[in-house]
Amino acid sequence: MQFRLHPRLGMTIGYTPFSTVGYNFTRTKAIENSSDVTISNNFYGDGGLQQIFGGLGFKIFDHLSIGANIGYLYGKLKYQTTATLSNGGDQTITYNTVSISSYHASFGLQYTQPINKGNEITLGLTYSLGHVLNGHDTQGTQITNGTNYSVVNEQQINDSYGIPHIYGAGVAWKHKKNLTIEADYTLQQWSGVKYNNQTNLYQDRSKVAVGAEFLPKEYGRNYFSRVRYRVGAYYANSNLQIPVAQNMVEGPKEYGVSFGFGLPLKLYQRNTVLSITGQYIHAKPSVSDMLSENRLVLKIGLTFNEHWFMKWRVN
C-alpha cells in the first residue's frame, strides 16, 4: 500500500516474499567397485523468507526524487539429503534448518527530464545494503534402519548466511502516455557473501532486462484500446560456483521472455488494473551433468490505484 502524506512526500508499507526454496528430487547411481548395489540420494528443500517493510519517498525538486525502504526479514529454510542403499543397509539423513530474523534496507534515486511536450526520459539508481543475517543454523546427521534413529554430529551455528550488496541502474523513455520503453541493469555482489559459514561458493551476478508497454488510448471508448500491452526479456548469469572435479565452475545462465496485458476492470475506471503475464524461462547449465530447466510461468496481479482519503473541494 502506498499513499501521499504531503504533496512532496509519499509513504509505502508492505508484506512480500523475499526468497523461496522448494525442490524434491532423487538421483540413483551405482557404487564404485560394486556391480549390484546402487545408492539413491533424495534432495529436499522447503521454506522461505518474508519481509515486512515501510518506506518514504520525497520529491526534492520537480524532477528529482529520493526514497528508502527499511524492512524486517524472517523465516525458516529446511534442507535435507537422504542416502539409501539398494541392499537394505542403514539410511543416512543429513539435515540443515536455518531460522532468520534480521533487517533489510534499500535506497533509490530517480530523475525525470522532459525532452519536449510528448517525450520524457527517466533515470533511476537503486542500492540494497548487503550484510550478514542474524540467524540460527542447526546441522546434523541421522542414521536409521527404518525403526530406530540416532543423531550424530549435531551442531548449532549462528550468523552463517548473508545477503549481497545490490546496485541497480535503469532508463525509461515515455512517449506521451501511450508508449514506455525501459532498460535495467542489476549487479548483485555475491562474492564473499556467507553461505553455510563459507565465503567461496558465490560469484557476482549481473542481470540485463528490457521491456515495453503500449497503451493505444488512455481515454478510448473501446475497451481494447485501453488495454496495456506488455513485452519483456532478460538475461542473467548465475551467482553460484559449483565444485566439479576439484574445480569451481559457474552455475547455469538464465534468460526469459514474457508477454502480458494490463486489463482495466471497468469501462470508466482506469486506475484499477488486472495484470496477466506469461513467461518462458530457460536455465542452461555450464557442465553436462547439471539439470537444464525450462519453465512456463503464469503471473496474475491486481493493482488498486484509486483516489481514496481525498478531501472534496466541492460537496
Q: Rounded to 5, what percent of the chain is helix, strand, coil?
A: 0, 70, 25
**Among 242, 218, 240, 243, which Cα is nearest to 228's?**
218
**Exposure of 259 in the CB half-sphere (CA atoms within 13 A):** 0
Write the CB contacts of 297 (distance below 8 Å, at least 6 apart in sequence).
278, 279, 280, 281
- Rounded Cα distance between 278 and 82, Å, is 36
Which residues in the chain show pLDDT less than 70?
146-147, 149, 267-270, 307-312, 315
Set of cell numbers at residue 172: 525509461
Set of cell numbers at residue 243: 565444485
Longest C-alpha distance within the chain, in Å? 88
Give residue-wise pLDDT tens across range 55-73: 999 999 999 999 999 999 9
Quote the pLDDT of residue 313: 73
Contact yes or no for 55/12 (Cβ under 8 A):
yes
Quote the pLDDT of residue 146: 65
**Among 212, 209, 147, 218, which Cα is nearest to 177's?**
218
Number of Cβ within a 10 Å radius of residue 160: 18
Quote the pLDDT of residue 72: 97
**Among 157, 170, 156, 58, which Cα is nearest to 121's?**
170
Quote the pLDDT of residue 304: 81
Quote the pLDDT of residue 315: 66
